[in-house]
Structure 1
């Protein structure tokens, strides 16, 4: 929303136009107008900030950096420093951005605009929480995670809803006390109270000014055609009197008594003014609020001769020829209200009076009509008038008055009848009026108490904090690879949040980390159904399809992502996985390199490059790719695992074990990493130590086939064939089509002397893998040769 300051120069108008186009996402227009603003004010920091902001939003990062640099390095403008730091983050000039934010610290360190944004209000300058979040990103880019963590922690202390700061803090590996962040603290409550107090002060003005609505714009430029254009006693017409708060004349006051006889269509009254000012009720929607008599009318009652002269002058004017088209007298101005004692009441209600064609036959009020008017006012408006005085003029002292006194103080907007009307007509008219409260009654009703509204907002804030607490707890568990806990928390969310693409994608990632790829695929399918154009986490979905050997689904996913966004790293990862599944490793490498060109911080793309280099046995290039991934994200455990795998291929088992253990430190719940440690330990240390790692891997992932197979082989080498055979029985249910499982089972049955079971197992293995027929036939022929049975050390055929 544009600033509400009064525009008094072209530059101020341009500022409002720039904010208008920014709020409506018309970036090119905003950029053009910001350039014009800088031409008017080339040395103004605010103009430079607007131009840099528009340039940054349009994607001109270097231009925004150059525009904001002059004021940013001096620390003289917070907006310039913030845009400059954002541009530095994009350009890799991290220290320059940090220095600019430090220079402007006095401008933002005490600034907090939480709960100060709405549909009709905006804060175009950042507060301390936003600046600290950006500063943490700059420190992270500079590889100083300690300072980055401190910035994110302080940002969350000021604004717990700074989700970006929280996710970066958790992904850095820091230990976070989630309940301490997402709890209702006294600062939030005080902020809500202060905000409502400020709103009450702001809203008081519109409520008071509503009682005196400004005239329409067309009335200011030209008179109302239904109003009289005559001048009375040298004064302008009634419209001019109304606009200038002048007093009405005596002839206008005389018409007040007779204008309510029969409402006519010629009466032009604004509906809002009727509601607010207590005008005559043309549709009889509510009992009319009584008007107070004007000063002129009061004086006329005290001096009948003066009133008579005024009536005579009025009749003489009405009888003039040529005035038929202007038979209505001018409208009255705002009357001066008086209390019972005769003092002027401090009321702000302007009460214009409605006129009808009956004014042509108006007569000077007699004493009888005056008494009737007094009694009528006493019966109709006494209680209501006192209510008005309580609501609008609390400083007036109460006073006991007789009926005659009240008749002097209350007059005007009453449903009057002709002098010959009977009281029964008045009573029937009162009975026909609907029971809709008039303006004074509505003003008397107190607005909702501020405390109750604050309590409702506090309850809403508590609900929101509870939601963020659960989301943050699940994200924390997933970032620390406690996948089962993360899934439980996500499933406990309300269905409105649980079925969103973000939550479904997080659950799918958790199942993928647990190597339950089939379950992960189910959730990713739901993600694609809910958000077909979503790109986040689609690289994980393509890997899941790769693990499931789903060539058609993977190729279709890559094709869809190309249509959504061709120049995204997730798209090229999916294309590369599709080529890799088809054994086209060179094409896959090109795709993975393209992904890292689009996003140099995309660590997963470097890791997949390393995997492809291993397939091509280019171990040097693989090591380089894995190190690039670690440079982009030092907690990317897949890259550490890749380094260990390369060193295992090279026969450097101690170095490989070190890298495997680093990866397992990051992700201690991953069964593959634990099994990899057992593999290198099996080569360098006793088998019983390796068996511990295999056993732990089986506990972490009971359905992991590789861990259970290696455990069975280790038990076989330790001379425990019964236990090994029981492990293989479980493995046959997990991977019934794996030839190695049946072959190893045949060997174990041969060790136990179960020749029939051994022959059956070797036969199944031969049918599953005909390429290994020679090895299987040799094992079957040696069933009667006891010397070929491995000894207790299990050194024969362990590979």
Structure 2
């Protein structure tokens, strides 16, 4: 008998998925080639291309998926082909593939379908739109890229990279309208199997909860669009529509086996669930009207306290039958016969009785059960009392007689049920009658033994009615809504911080990140964002603290380490910077951030040639790394290679149009070359991107001062001083401008602050000497000029000239610093 080719292909696909899920990509690649050789179908090409992509080989993935992906015939092939095109800089081809396959993904949603036992193998609208947006962005089509990222966030607000890219592109976003749990989005998570069933079997997802039962989605505002655009009506929630693209992955073989096992009754001798998993012993209490059955677990009766409906027992019992499986029907049968005179213990206990128990009749059998006293009228005791009091033994059948024991349902239940507490144990002189559930009743006090027991019992309600009913289990949809709302609130805070940081509203970003829970604030990503915010505020000491904590928490992280190295460079911490650079390079020599840090270390050591080699290596590793181009331009500027510096800065702007550091570098080069108009235009462009940067305001003020526009320059210096009140360079330039305009009193106040901030700075004492000279205080002027000369011997010609000209001062000369 020849093997079935379809079955062979199915087994090979299961093997490939198995190896992919277990990170054995080479094994998956091997079997992917076998599958494609056996079955030349689009699905086979998709799996083989996926294996190549997982192995980091986009070229092979591109070739394998091109046949079905470029024309949009197969969604999986189109997605892998587009991802390969993004990696290979073939953006137009990737855009074409996704656009041609748009009909197969535009209305798909697989949110909530990725669990430990289920997969959605093909992308949905959010994933495809996000990838298409990345391709359009790389293709330099900003308008279409923004539209695609917005579509991705509409379909799935948890598409975090779409949000961060929009922020990086400078798009203004309404964060509260993006991160919200809409009804259709929350219903996708309702399709997910329950936590208990998920660990045992890949059960079929339950349908969505009725709208009137939802707790959070009712209050969600759905009428406002996050991007002020019309919501696409083409998007439909396809949960449960039977689409094969989002069905359970067929490689989930163990889930199918367990699901098949759960269709058969469990072994009575084993109380454990499938695969040896013990049934949870402490199930939440359930009201009698809400029977519970968990998929994949033996439906044994739970402990007595949770199941208070067990107090209702029919009278007819057959103790020889094996206990059956519990089901809803048995519980329903008990509820259908509440009037059974011998089945409801609570009802029998509430009926009046002429029975009076004396202290002498309180006896027990050998097994410990109290002896039921016989009534004075000679009648037989109630059948329910005999069933509940007498020992359960094989001799009880003959003793009780066949007339009193008939049906088997109650006895089966009692054998299957775990042992419950006995009837009320008497004290030293007390007695009790009847059976109650453990924990539901208190023992009868001695003083109450003289009264009729039935009257005493009648004074209290039965346990099943009087015991406090435990709170029913919260519906699964309510739990999902509450968890989703918590996640959205967390994302709102993080998104607000990131959006503010991308717009360089650093203090607002810090406030947003500070409002995060402590556990989330002390994570690498958040600490990196906080460190960047302090760096943009020119608060380098706090930035260093944040990055140092980041290094402790994540010593292998390389992202944002180029900023940390710049912070150390600005703080002139040569030893720390060298240690960081060598640590990063030793850990990952192919990291561009590591080579930027090493280049900064060489730059701080004044070895600009070595620094340029390091920055060149970083660019080779990451050709679109804008920060590496900027650092390279700074080194060319230090070497007075202004043409090369201009080229590096322009490459940085080409890689990132919002990289204000490159505009700043262009302004510095043109200012050095005397092209003040061009320098001013580039400074203004940088300030437009980062309007609260103190250094940029100072640069604009300096250029305006050189253009003899002192009044306007002073306004920029004042703004810079407000943004960075403890920055010595900012106040130094402001003091020089005040001296130039003759505002000596204001200049003196600034210089007094500067003397406290930077007492070892030569320029501060030089300006203090000039101020004293203008005030005709020769003694103070000589003292400050002498201190400046000792701190900066290289400026001795100018300082000595100022000292010699104390007698015939011709006015202020601010020729020392530029």
Say yes or no: TM over 0.5: yes
Q: Is the 1:674–1:697 Cα contact (8 Å) retained in structure 2? A: yes
**Is residue 30 from structure 1 mapped to residue 8 from structure 2 by the alignment?**
no
- CA–CA separation in structure 2 for the residues paired with 1:640 and 1:350: 70
2:667 equivalent in structure 1:
644
The number of aligned residues is 622
Residues 740-751 of structure 1 mapped to structure 2, 5 A cutoff: 740-751=763-774
Indicate which of 779, 788, 791 corresponds to 2:810: 788
Q: Superposition RMSD on alpha carbons, in Å? A: 3.9
Indicate which of 142, 145, 148 corresponds to 2:142: 145
Closer, same or farther: CA 396–434 of 1 in aligned 2, 3 Å? closer
Q: Is the 1:196–1:454 Cα contact (8 Å) retained in structure 2? A: no
1:654 equivalent in structure 2:
677
- CA–CA separation in structure 2 for the residues paired with 1:760 and 1:741: 13
- CA–CA separation in structure 1 for the residues paired with 2:623 and 2:44: 34
After superposition, the C-alpha distances for 1:576-611 in whole angstroms (9 at most, x for unaligned) are 111111111111001001001100110000001100
Residues 758-777 of structure 1 mapped to structure 2, 5 A cutoff: 758-777=781-800
Indicate which of 559, 579, 593 corresponds to 1:570: 593
Closer, same or farther: CA 195–554 of 1 in aligned 2, 3 Å? closer
Unaligned runs of 5+ in 1: 1-5, 216-268, 276-348, 352-374, 404-413
Indicate which of 553, 563, 574 corresponds to 1:540: 563
1:12 equivalent in structure 2:
10
Residues 597-746 of structure 1 mapped to structure 2, 5 A cutoff: 597-746=620-769
1:306 equivalent in structure 2:
none
- CA–CA separation in structure 1 for the residues paired with 2:484 and 2:396: 64
Q: Is the 1:212–1:350 Cα contact (8 Å) retained in structure 2? A: no
Indicate which of 213, 216, 225 corresponds to 2:265: 213
**Is residue 112 from structure 1 mapped to residue 109 from structure 2 by the alignment?**
yes
Indicate which of 195, 202, 205 corresponds to 1:199: 205
Closer, same or farther: CA 750–112 of 1 in aligned 2, 3 Å? same
- CA–CA separation in structure 2 for the residues paired with 1:559 and 1:635: 30
Closer, same or farther: CA 608–391 of 1 in aligned 2, 3 Å? same
After superposition, the C-alpha distances for 1:536-567 in whole angstroms (9 at most, x for unaligned) are 11111111111111111111111111221011
Q: CA deviation at 1:489?
A: 1.5
1:281 equivalent in structure 2:
none
Q: CA deviation at 1:60?
A: 1.2
Q: Is the 1:487–1:507 Cα contact (8 Å) retained in structure 2? A: yes
2:519 equivalent in structure 1:
496
Q: CA deviation at 1:760?
A: 1.9
**Is residue 70 from structure 1 mapped to residue 74 from structure 2 by the alignment?**
no
After superposition, the C-alpha distances for 1:660-711 in whole angstroms (9 at most, x for unaligned) are 1001000001111111111111122421111111111111111222221111
Closer, same or farther: CA 400–581 of 1 in aligned 2, 3 Å? closer
Residues 132-531 of structure 1 mapped to structure 2, 5 A cutoff: 132-193=129-190, 199-200=205-206, 210=262, 212-213=264-265, 270-272=269-271, 377-378=316-317, 390-391=329-330, 417=394, 422=399, 434-435=419-420, 452-531=475-554
TM-score by length of 2: 0.70
**Is residue 756 from structure 1 mapped to residue 779 from structure 2 by the alignment?**
yes
Q: Is the 1:94–1:142 Cα contact (8 Å) retained in structure 2? A: yes
- CA–CA separation in structure 2 for the residues paired with 1:606 and 1:535: 18
- CA–CA separation in structure 2 for the residues paired with 1:777 and 1:31: 78
Secondary structure of the 1:213 match is coil
Closer, same or farther: CA 213–388 of 1 in aligned 2, 3 Å? closer
Q: Is the 2:70–2:94 Cα contact (8 Å) retained in structure 1? A: no
Closer, same or farther: CA 698–614 of 1 in aligned 2, 3 Å? same
Q: Is the 1:213–1:273 Cα contact (8 Å) retained in structure 2? A: no
Closer, same or farther: CA 447–214 of 1 in aligned 2, 3 Å? farther
- CA–CA separation in structure 2 for the residues paired with 1:59 and 1:466: 36
1:95 equivalent in structure 2:
92
Which of the two has greater helix per residue?
1
Q: CA deviation at 1:505?
A: 1.4
Q: CA deviation at 1:744?
A: 0.9
Secondary structure of the 1:9 match is helix
Q: Is the 1:713–1:798 Cα contact (8 Å) retained in structure 2? A: no
Closer, same or farther: CA 648–399 of 1 in aligned 2, 3 Å? closer
Closer, same or farther: CA 434–653 of 1 in aligned 2, 3 Å? same
TM-score by length of 1: 0.72
1:265 equivalent in structure 2:
none
Q: Is the 1:514–1:701 Cα contact (8 Å) retained in structure 2? A: yes
Q: Is the 2:496–2:512 Cα contact (8 Å) retained in structure 1? A: yes
- CA–CA separation in structure 2 for the residues paired with 1:389 and 1:474: 52
Unaligned runs of 5+ in 2: 195-203, 208-239, 241-254, 275-296, 300-313, 343-390, 406-410, 423-436, 438-463
Of the structure 1 ranges 202-211 and 705-714, higher mean CA displacement relative to structure 2 is found in 202-211
Closer, same or farther: CA 92–788 of 1 in aligned 2, 3 Å? same
- CA–CA separation in structure 2 for the residues paired with 1:274 and 1:699: 68
- CA–CA separation in structure 2 for the residues paired with 1:118 and 1:448: 29
- CA–CA separation in structure 2 for the residues paired with 1:386 and 1:70: 56
Closer, same or farther: CA 769–600 of 1 in aligned 2, 3 Å? same
Closer, same or farther: CA 146–688 of 1 in aligned 2, 3 Å? same
Q: Is the 1:623–1:643 Cα contact (8 Å) retained in structure 2? A: yes
- CA–CA separation in structure 2 for the residues paired with 1:274 and 1:475: 47
Q: CA deviation at 1:399?
A: 12
- CA–CA separation in structure 2 for the residues paired with 1:500 and 1:472: 15
After superposition, the C-alpha distances for 1:163-183 in whole angstroms (9 at most, x for unaligned) are 111110000001111111112
Secondary structure of the 1:200 match is coil
Q: CA deviation at 1:614?
A: 0.6
Secondary structure of the 1:74 match is coil
